Chain A
């Protein structure tokens, strides 16, 4: 007979479910400008608190304040705003195209535009991102063609990936954007391997890994952190914590660790949390981490605290698992509006110019979409050939595939 009572299993639950009143009071938001900016060569043990705070630059008044401010010029900020607005407009058009049956699937970025768009500005030509499916901002901010993006989504005759990949699983080596895998987290350790290769070859290029809050639970994440730590790989490892892994709230993957950034501490990797809806803060932190990698100081782990305003994908309806108005209650606001307000506050932008820019950007996006549709949409006649299905499995087609292609009659 045990003198203890029966054991019970603990299952974490989000603060609120559908029908409840959204509540983010459990998220402590530090004042903008209140978190120190340490030198990049600091001993990681001295900045453990950065894994539990949130680095923020833009305050409620739209001013950029504190030690992390000032990493971008006004012209760069205006361009950054344009990138985020382009991504948002593109999302709207592609989401609609999916509803119209022009493609099978789409994933939008609503509310998370700042993360990839701002991060991209800290990178140089030749650096390599290993993205997940919600970092198209890297492509847009990196100057990739909207037409090629739409062609990939439509799996049409002009699709650079020849109809082989699910929509939004882009790849562009030239733009430092590694091929996306639908098996989550696999690319995280690959980013570390790519960075190790760069170091082995005494190159100057760095790698960047991307992962969502939910996928940090995969073994690949832990392997990546071990390898990055052991070999001091020139890599920046990003966690985009948008609070929801499809229907599963972040507490299920996070467990008792307090924050996702804190996972880095056990590996001796400097770990920072940043306001993912603050374009200036994301850029400043990205620049700090990239500088560490370039100076051969090793990896950095960054948790971008943000919120997935839209559904996980076109196959998902968040009404089934979270309150409808939850995104309105999100305490870090909207990244586009915050940067817009900052630029207005600086006298570099106005509501009128913003409206005008919105219209111009929408025109550009629609023009790109129409251009792409000239090459077909998913169910139109113009699609990559069945014959091409057999190409590219290997560099040289082995006999058994030649026989199968013949059998298929293509």
Chain B
């Protein structure tokens, strides 16, 4: 056991898998010699050789398209898209190819592929380094979508993703790389070394895909969140004094509906939080599922707190970001009779 940052945990997961399985290869823009712009693959090329960890041309469709071919061959590529905002050129390869290969070939060809991409804002990245495109993936049948919220989960989920027989989109909230961001941008950053979920076990372990985690037990309202917003929701709960239950979804598809249902039936209220834009966001799907499953237990309308339906701005980043104050207000409104 050791305290690790999220980046170190992700690197450790790839390291563990590369050493256990010769078929695991890692590549992307700046990923090889330099170790990636966020340093996730630092040292892997030196350790495993250039043919297993290498730099690619700036071509996201090339990265994912080549990885689909490699996966069909029998390798297990774990590729990096430098920012989730850059994945659009690769979208056809993800949606029409990786996601459907097993189905359309009657199982003759499969696509055990992981596409890692830093997601979300809060780093003054402007509209092209801040997006949260998870709903563009959950809408696609044939791929799984994972969003970890801490180093311990990130490692176990990434190992599970690499070992999964199907393609997995692994969205890494970049605002969490170095610490559990509580939504207060004007306060000093807490490092992962001071957080219990910064404690990362050595060696191989999985956090299974499709299982949520209850981060805080509570009685009056259920908060559904993932990634950065889990920590922001925690501070909203502390600051508003509402006894909320916080569920960290961890995997958006497959979704752990049982845990959600049990919690909302217990609390009778639900607030959904995500950083992505509101309209047709993953919160809409959650909202539909919760009302269908828990309608007779609900004591208030389900609330959604999300990024505004605008491009992610630069100067107005913290006006856009659904911070603790907005979440706290939604919690209180949900509790109003």
Contacts and interface: CB of A to CB of B under 8 A. Distances in A.
A181 interface: yes
B19 interface: no
Contact of B166 (A179, A230, A394): A394
A132 to B, nearest CB: 14
Given A395-B110, A398-B254, A178 B104 contact: no
A395 B166 contact: yes
A249 interface: no
A179 B103 CA distance: 10
A130 B69 contact: yes
A105 interface: no
Nearest to B141: A393
B72 A190 contact: yes
Interface stretch (A51-59, A77-85, A193-201, A330-338): A193-201
B61 interface: yes
B57 A226 contact: yes
Given A183-B97, A399-B254, A200 B103 contact: no
Interface string A357-380: 000000000000000000000000
Contact of B142 (A181, A219, A224, A394): A394
Contacts of A173: 105, 108-109
Interface in B39-92: 51-52, 56-57, 59, 61-62, 65-70, 72-75, 89, 92
B301 interface: no
Contacts of B165: 394-396
Given A161-B104, A161-B105, A178-B72, A189 B65 contact: yes
A398 B70 contact: no
B110 to A, nearest CB: 7
Contacts of B103: 164, 392-393
B69 A193 contact: yes
Contacts of B102: 392-395
Interface string A370-409: 0000000000000000000000111110111000000000
Contact of B62 (A128, A181, A223, A395): A223
Interface in A175-218: 178-179, 181, 183, 186, 188-201, 207
A103 interface: no
Contacts of A394: 102, 142, 144, 165-166
B303 interface: no
B61 A219 contact: yes
Q: Which of B52, B73, B97 has the most CB of A within 10 A?
A: B73
A230 B52 CA distance: 15
B255 interface: yes
Interface string B102-135: 1111111110000000000000000000000000
Contact of A224 (B56, B65, B107, B110): B65
A169 interface: yes
Contact of A392 (B59, B68, B93, B106): B106
Contacts of B108: 160, 171-173, 179
Given A161-B106, A393-B141, A196 B96 contact: no
B254 to A, nearest CB: 4
B157 interface: no
B154 interface: no
Contacts of A188: 65
Interface residues of A, number: 46
Contacts of B144: 394
A179 B97 CA distance: 10
Nearest to B73: A197
A400 B254 contact: yes
B25 interface: yes
A179 B52 CA distance: 26
B302 interface: no
A142 to B, nearest CB: 15
A169 B52 CA distance: 33
A171 B254 CA distance: 28
Contacts of B9: none
A171 B97 contact: no
A220 B106 contact: no
A226 B59 CA distance: 9
A165 interface: yes
Q: Which of B101, B103, B166 has the most CB of A within 10 A?
A: B103
A193 B93 CA distance: 12
A227 B62 contact: yes
A219 B257 CA distance: 39
A200 B166 contact: no
B273 interface: no
Q: Which of B62, B68, B254 has the most CB of A within 10 A?
A: B62
Nearest to A389: B103
A194 B73 contact: yes
A262 to B, nearest CB: 21
A162 interface: yes
Contacts of A160: 106, 108
A270 B70 CA distance: 24
B254 A179 contact: no
Nearest to A202: B51
Nearest to A395: B165
Contact of B257 (A162, A186, A395, A399): A399
A266 to B, nearest CB: 14
B65 A162 contact: no
Interface in B174-213: 210
B106 A223 contact: no
Contacts of B161: none
A73 B102 CA distance: 40
Contacts of B74: 197
Contacts of B65: 186, 188-190, 192-193, 220, 223-224
A258 to B, nearest CB: 25
Interface of A: 128, 130, 160-162, 164-165, 169, 171-173, 178-179, 181, 183, 186, 188-201, 207, 219-220, 223-224, 226-227, 230, 392-396, 398-400
21 contacts: A164-B104, A179-B104, A181-B96, A183-B92, A186-B65, A190-B72, A192-B66, A193-B70, A200-B52, A200-B75, A207-B69, A220-B61, A223-B65, A224-B62, A227-B66, A230-B57, A392-B103, A394-B102, A395-B102, A395-B165, A399-B255
Given A171-B105, A226-B57, 13 more contacts: A164-B104, A171-B104, A171-B108, A186-B96, A186-B97, A189-B65, A190-B65, A190-B72, A197-B70, A197-B73, A394-B102, A396-B165, A400-B253
Interface of B: 25, 51-52, 56-57, 59, 61-62, 65-70, 72-75, 89, 92-93, 96-97, 101-110, 141-142, 144, 165-166, 210, 253-255, 257
Which are the 10 A-B pairs with shortest beta-carbon distances? Answer: A193-B69, A193-B66, A189-B65, A223-B62, A190-B69, A179-B105, A197-B73, A398-B254, A194-B69, A395-B165
